[in-house]
Amino acid sequence: MAWRGLHISKPSRLSLADGQIAVAQDDGEVRLPLEDIAWIILDTPQATLTSTLLSACMAAGIAVVVTDQKHTPSGVTLPFHSHFRQGEVAQLQIAAGAPLKKRIWQAVVRAKIANQADALDAVKRPGAASLREIARHVGSGDPDNVEARAAREYWSRLWDNFRREDDGDRRNKLLNYGYAIIRSGVARSLVAAGLLPCIGVNHASVSNAFNLADDLVEPFRPFVDLMAWKRTDGGKPSRDDLSLDDRRFMAGVLLRDSVIAGDRVTLLVAAERATESLVRAVEYVLPNALELPSMPA
């Protein structure tokens, strides 16, 4: 089972050798078992990989993330038809009714707000009790947009003098990098479970190939928030660009601990279990079958 990621930040040549990923750099070559790798981040314009390796990554369900000139994740490659029930699961997903989707979205929003409350507790900031009370009022489909009200409360409590829309704030740069990585991990797990990432339960943009990933990623976001808070020494503002160490730190988000259905697992495993439970919820029309990650005690 895949359990680690690969972050490439120096000029490298990646190829497939004896069923392993061979990473050749100026100071030598390292080989890693293909089955151990869940994602590869190409965080340099001076990285090349062979089509044979790329094909092997798709067969193994490895998400390959590419970055732009500012080192921000800008795309991800995912395999086609990696699940033995691909067609059946896709049909179940397409046929899911509005009441089921609304109940699933209600569970997702409640889990997200609960994790936001736990995040405030973790960094000893006020407001957790208020968020937990707000979560109680999330209805089926969240028709009153309680999620947005909770977000305003949460961000005002987590950090001082912070605006989520300020792209120049280093705190937002850390968040955006981490969110992109966790989104890639969730998208990888959706494909592995036979689901179509473009068909969401709440997000429904005709131009978004990852509507379902953007739905399911919501309870994972507070884990990224905690990492960014710690990386900024308690949320101190800055206009600096992200350093290589910053990017490497945030790239490790999928290896952070979480709790799902009472088990302590990494977020990578939590994403896999969440998507598998989503298939069960859709197949049996049981929104309570959905399992989502929570913060470890």
Average pLDDT over residues 191-197: 91
Q: Express each pLDDT in 224-256 by its tens digit.
A: 999 999 999 988 899 999 999 999 999 999 999
Q: In the chain, list all ranges with CATH 3.100.10.20.
A: 4-77
Read off the pLDDT band of 81 (50, 70, 90): low
Q: Is the pLDDT of residue 107 over 90?
A: yes
Residue 208 CA to chain centroid, in angstroms?
Answer: 16
In this predicted structure, which of 64-73, 92-101, 168-177 has the lowest mean pLDDT? 64-73
d(CA 229, CA 165): 17
First to last CA, the chain: 26
Average pLDDT over residues 192-214: 94
Q: In the chain, list all ranges with CATH 1.20.120.920.
A: 86-289
The encoded tokens of residue 149 equal 């009200």
Mean confidence (pLDDT) of the chain = 95
Q: Residue 235: what pLDDT?
A: 86
Q: Is the pLDDT of residue 83 over 80?
A: no
- 232 close to 171: Cβ distance less than 8 angstroms: yes
Q: Residue 84: what pLDDT?
A: 62
Q: Express each pLDDT in 32-59 by its tens digit.
A: 999 999 999 999 999 999 999 999 999 9
Please report which helix (H) or strand (E) contains residue 24, including its range: strand 20-25
Backbone angles phi, psi at 257, to 5 degrees: -75, 145
CATH number of 4-77: 3.100.10.20
In this predicted structure, which of 19-33, 41-55, 68-82 has the lowest mean pLDDT? 68-82
Q: Residue 82: what pLDDT?
A: 60
CATH number of 86-289: 1.20.120.920
> Taking the alpha carbons of 233, 180, 254, 101 in that order, is the dihedral positive or negative?
positive
